[in-house]
Structure 1
């Protein structure tokens, strides 16, 4: 059966809705798609959150349309079917494919089935969607409220320990391969090597999100009373000021030298930090994502060329890694270096300490040491 995969529109102008649910709807919408878009528009001032929620909402509404279901017809058993679909979207030819622009004729909402943590996150987001639609009077019920194991699946108060990061020894092996360009390298190659090195170092030292890197300007790095600070607008448009370590300032100097700029950014330099090949224009989130993925691929190939086994865990991780792994790696290594939880939370820009605590692996280490005392009796 062929399906038409049409992404959600985000610029609709709706006529007043027909009353749906007790008391009528409190939003202007003529269809489930428009109702979901009304929910999405609530996040328009937070671009990263908007894009992430739009992705989950698109998958959900496309699945509903494929099943011939309306939002108000959604029942408890449908949630189990949807979660199974997230695990393995079938038929795969209709649902999965390489990353393409959203309005490309061969755009697909999945690259592959979702891992357990990603499925859980999807359900959390859609729980919020259905709750909002119920409050808006668009649907009469929220089936997520009927899930018996709702607390285990949807409670975000105790997120799992972070696992998608590179161990310190492996990160050191990676960094050694991100060598600075040689003086006589061709100009294009020199630029690409320098940009990749700076990008990976930036991601590791400052733990930024990818959108924060693409939006970074040179004068976001500011000297204040003899100390360098990075001013960043993060998730939810929250403004933060982070201390810049010496290694980061060294990388910035090297990168500015590659761009033909002065040693340190002056206050009036509002140009983008990361640059396209013309050395002037900035880069988009999608372009940065590809630079990171190409970097991971290069590192994997370089390690194999140095006789690392293709089955080595680091090689396998590099094949799966996304840019966010470097944020996880940075925060994990900061925690392992002894940075206190309150400062770690400020570096991560988390709203709750419980979120930051996922990066603290000391308790696991102590648990292992304690459990090691439990041994089989020695046979004399």
Structure 2
């Protein structure tokens, strides 16, 4: 380990003071052809990649965190420039973050800290809710996420003739021995969704001071399940994004959405949900005439002021997290416990509603996967196929049938 940078003095990603000989200006992996970006050092090159990912602030911050950690580790632990790292170095980094322990005071903070306050560390240890015995800082999922982000950045830098090769390209994803839920389990059935909406509706008591807040929760749940939008897509949706197409069959409604990697798509708005939007606005004492609503008015409104303001993704996450916590307590107090549903609600998040939407369309409605792919904004239909469990059901039924006792024999 080489004393080159004091982590305590890191105040901003843009201002990391990297020694000139480790800046990457003469990195061993630097391409010899003309570089296609305005970057003569590694920090500038990484910032160029981040800028093309900058449409979504949450994604930008997540990517920046991974690259910042890796850059600091390369200089401090390896004594190398980012653009001088080889595959062995990159594998060593994966091993480092996989084995990183809470007691590593040089790299890990136990309590939240801010940059520039003298106690900041690149990693923060949080006690796992599922396993309080572990002292490793990152989960296998987080390790694989870091692998993916850094490799994606290096791929792009190779394409821009900044790097000769991607040193992460040969590093496989780490395998987990955990028994966490698969995607096919992180969702609610149609029956569970109805129970969820029924409970949310029961909280809408006009005599209570939180009446409008509960009306909004019910609307958010319907919005999320009827569209399958991601959290930041829900928060960003406005009435100006609604598009109505009219023909002999009547009106069909769509919502223009900017998804991952700034990709624009149109997702369907079911006719029944359009009725829900109008009913919600009436309940909130607002005009239900969609055509007269200002384009920049958010579909999910803030209740803090009379003027409708857009909620942040973090605020939206908290609203739904509080609802799932309340629903969980309600189920625990019920006369007849549904342990399977209780366990699901305990772990649920907003993204579960997206998974529920995909599964409902694929399995209950038998909608073609290509349609569902386009609705969800997946890059590949193989991603969408995780929701289709018809083959699994047929396989289980066939195996079960093989063990049925023939009473006629």
Q: How does 1:18-37 map to 2 (within 5 A)?
A: 18-20=25-27, 21=30, 23=32, 26=35, 27-29=37-39, 32-37=42-47
Q: Structure 1, unaligned stretches of length 5 or more?
A: 154-159
Do structure 1's residue 184 and structure 2's residue 207 form an aligned pair?
yes
Q: In 1, distance between residues paired with 2:298 and 2:362?
A: 30
Q: In 2, distance between residues paired with 1:67 and 1:40?
A: 24
Shift of 1:303: 1.3
| Contact kept in structure 2, 1:8 and 1:37, CA below 8 Å | no
Do structure 1's residue 198 and structure 2's residue 219 form an aligned pair?
yes
Do structure 1's residue 300 and structure 2's residue 328 form an aligned pair?
yes
Distance 1:58 1:11, change over 3 A: closer
Do structure 1's residue 143 and structure 2's residue 152 form an aligned pair?
no
Q: In 2, distance between residues paired with 1:163 and 1:7?
A: 41
| Contact kept in structure 2, 1:97 and 1:108, CA below 8 Å | no
Distance 1:52 1:17, change over 3 A: closer
Secondary structure at the residue paired with 2:194?
helix
Secondary structure at the residue paired with 1:61?
helix
CA RMSD of aligned residues (A): 4.0
Distance 1:98 1:281, change over 3 A: farther
Q: Deviations over 1:311-346 (max 9, x none)?
A: 934333333333222111111111112122232222
Q: How does 1:1-380 map to 2 (within 5 A)?
A: 3-4=7-8, 6=10, 9=13, 18-20=25-27, 21=30, 23=32, 26=35, 27-29=37-39, 32-45=42-55, 49-64=59-74, 67-70=77-80, 71-87=82-98, 89-91=100-102, 95=108, 115-136=139-160, 141-147=165-171, 149=172, 162-179=184-201, 181-186=204-209, 189-225=210-246, 226-235=250-259, 236-270=261-295, 271-277=297-303, 278-279=305-306, 280-307=308-335, 312-337=339-364, 338-375=366-403
Secondary structure at the residue paired with 1:335?
helix
TM-score normalised according to structure 1 size: 0.79
Secondary structure at the residue paired with 1:372?
helix
Shift of 1:132: 3.0
Shift of 1:170: 3.1
Q: In 1, distance between residues paired with 2:351 and 2:158?
A: 33
| Contact kept in structure 2, 1:232 and 1:239, CA below 8 Å | yes
| Contact kept in structure 2, 1:130 and 1:142, CA below 8 Å | yes
| Contact kept in structure 2, 1:223 and 1:229, CA below 8 Å | yes
Q: In 2, distance between residues paired with 1:102 and 1:288?
A: 26
Q: In 1, distance between residues paired with 2:34 and 2:153?
A: 15
Q: Structure 2, unaligned stretches of length 5 or more?
A: 129-136, 176-181
Shift of 1:202: 0.5
Secondary structure at the residue paired with 2:168?
helix
Flag the structure with larger Rg.
2
Distance 1:102 1:181, change over 3 A: farther
Aligned residue pairs, count: 368
Distance 1:198 1:96, change over 3 A: farther
Q: In 2, distance between residues paired with 1:209 and 1:6?
A: 33
Q: In 2, distance between residues paired with 1:352 and 1:293?
A: 30
| Contact kept in structure 1, 2:42 and 2:83, CA below 8 Å | no
Q: Deviations over 1:360-380 (max 9, x none)?
A: 111111121222244498999
Shift of 1:140: 5.5
